[in-house]
Structure 1
Amino acid sequence: MDRFVWASGLLEINETLVIQQRGVRLYDGDDKTKFDLGTVLLSTHRLLWRDHKKHDCCIALPLSQIIFFEEQAAGIGKRSDCSQNNFETLDFYKSTFSVLLPSAKIVVHLQPVTLNKEPGPYQSSKYSYIKLSFKEHGQIEFYRRLSEELSQKRWERISVSQPMQSPSRSQAGKVKAVGIVGIERKLEEKRKETDKNISEAFEDLSQLMKKAKEMVDLSKLIANKIKDKQGDISEDETIRFKSYLLSMGIANPVTRETHGSGTHYHLQLAKQLVEMLQVPVEEQGGMMALTEVYCLTNRARGMELLSPEDLVNACKMFEALNLPMRLRIFDSGVMVVQLQSHSEDEMIASAVETVSEKGFVSSEEYAKLVGISVLLAKERLLLAEKVGHLCRDDSVESLRFYPNLFLTQD
């Protein structure tokens, strides 16, 4: 404690407040001090402690006096090498035990007292370290920020004409205190800087979208050349490049800004959905769950995301527009998109054939065999059961489906 000096509690020129924490007690080594309950402040230059009741009671310690520090929880010390940046193990330790041990402490080891030290609360001490006892928690974040400041050593960047010292009577006219007004000014400067960064970010985003449109136009041009078979390009290369263009997503997604709102918007959206979903739905056997359609569509649309409500309304327009797809709702409430050419009888016959070959299957097993989602697999099996081709066995193990032997055996 003999390293501390009396301070006014005001920030000095070029000094910035980093973090503060209430409910902190100071220890001189292992001994309690009269500095029982106060607020500890960490700045870029100093460690300050201010009494809760006596606001004029404030002491400070330059960060340059700190050799190293460690955390002590429940009487167990854990040393930290401040010259290294690997704090993962220590962070886990702190996050695990800080709730159970509300009086966790940070032990700060200090350099010897300098000869020209200014007056402070202690003239001498038998200890070369102090302890910060956190009664109201917060030691984890304070420990992390203290580690950063000691690693960066920002106090060394201050000019010689503005030394970082605690104000004394002899220096009262030389050092200008910043105080609350200075803090508010710094906060205002940070706010303006944040607004500036946000504005620049949106400008960059606009430039990115402009470049994206140029890339879309370029992809269209290349796609048309491939379609017309212009240039020396093989059939395999054509197919491969078309797959690359498909992975880029929808070139010009239908939006409310381009097609208005209401029925017209949903009509145009329905046409685009059919164009995009034709191949994926065919690969899924002619049917795809609406949840999968939603994910696939928004992935292809990029930043122009589609709401679930707009997706459902657009799918309801398939039949009115006489498009080759339909929105179907099963008895269970599951919604799917299926091709108009999709044959329900063929789907049931395929399910019955698979179950007959295996003897019995569950929804999960049938999904793996056919290569569809578990949700659609269950709906197919339930549909085959509904028409009487399958029977179920609902046990504690799982829901299994068996062939209906009453139809195949006399």
Structure 2
Amino acid sequence: MSKELNEFLQSNLNDLKSKGLYNEIEPLQSANGPMIQVGGKELINLSSNNYLGLATDERLTTAAKEAIDKWGAGSGAVRTINGTLEIHLELEKELAKFKGTEAAISYQSGFNCNMAAISAVMGKKDVILSDELNHASIIDGCRLSGAKIVRVNHSDMEDLAAKAKEVRESGLYEKAMFITDGVFSMDGDIAKLPEIVEIAKEFDLMVYVDDAHGSGVLGHGHGTVKHFGLEKEVDFQIGTLSKAIGVVGGYVAGTQDLIDWLKVRSRPFLFSTAVSPADAAAAKRSLEILDADTSLNEKLWENATYFKEKLNAMGFETGISETPITPVIIGDEQKAQDFSKRLYEEGVYVKSIVFPTVPLGTGRVRNMPTAAHTKEMLDNALAIYEKVGKEFDLI
């Protein structure tokens, strides 16, 4: 190994560990359900994004197995050569129906969607206004585009309007876009889409919503845009198939012209092998289930509301969350890591979240109650929270 590389790695890894910022990864020895096996222990799982429990649903696993038998294990090529199978088109048709748009395009991941869509539409002569708490994939997608990036204070509509006015009056840019998460993944708050759309109309901004944590959760499962009834007003609906949908992959939903453009200009679509047939089939089945039945979504909200109310009653700080995302904010990074470890020792798996994922001094554990949790599981987790919270003088 290069001496310079070795010194760089050793120095920086040791620095992260000394500050409590080094993330330990524990492999699961079971499926990612409401209860998991880690290190030979059975734990209540409160760290998964599997909001509706569909990742282990037999209807999805059956669809995946049948697709493998019919289409094989892999797609075999990029979409534009001969990697587009009929199952991909069926998935995209179901996605467009699910999001209330003319068309949709699927990608290998939600991260890829933001790398693909932003850079395919925005360029060096354009400007992107971006909420300061947007996901890392949005930040990277904006950088890749080469457009001017203007940070907007989080969910601050006055700041958005002022900066939109400033960039439009400058006359420096051809196109302008505002990008926001639908649901912010670390705090669980919801974007102010009605106000955003009004400002966008006033200043002729494209509106781009990454709804990774809103799809399957808000709008009776159809997402944040549907929650506000703004399907005709939002230009880009971005989502993942790996959270509430329970599989893997991502998508962009919008007008037919937008999707046609992304098929000829978005680089992950052009240069990366298509998502596997099993994943496409399982995701399609998941969307069909959510279209036909809202019971999983209702159970998710019932469990999340119960869990959050009980934590608040104990005295834990859960921040500004409006969704099932339930942070318990600790503050100090090392204390957050230690708190997570004690919960683990007592039987609850909930990971600490520290800088750079969240700002310094706002270390936390992030709970994700799901539709698959029973009340008994949640009560057991709450009893452990009470015990460990008192140990750490948090309550």
For the pair shown, the structure with the greater C-alpha radius of gyration is 1
- Tell me the TM-score range normalised by the shorter chain: under 0.3
Higher-strand-fraction structure: 1
Q: Which is bigger in relative contact order (C-alpha 8 A, separation at least 6)?
A: 2
- Taking structure 2 as the reference length, the TM-score comes to 0.21
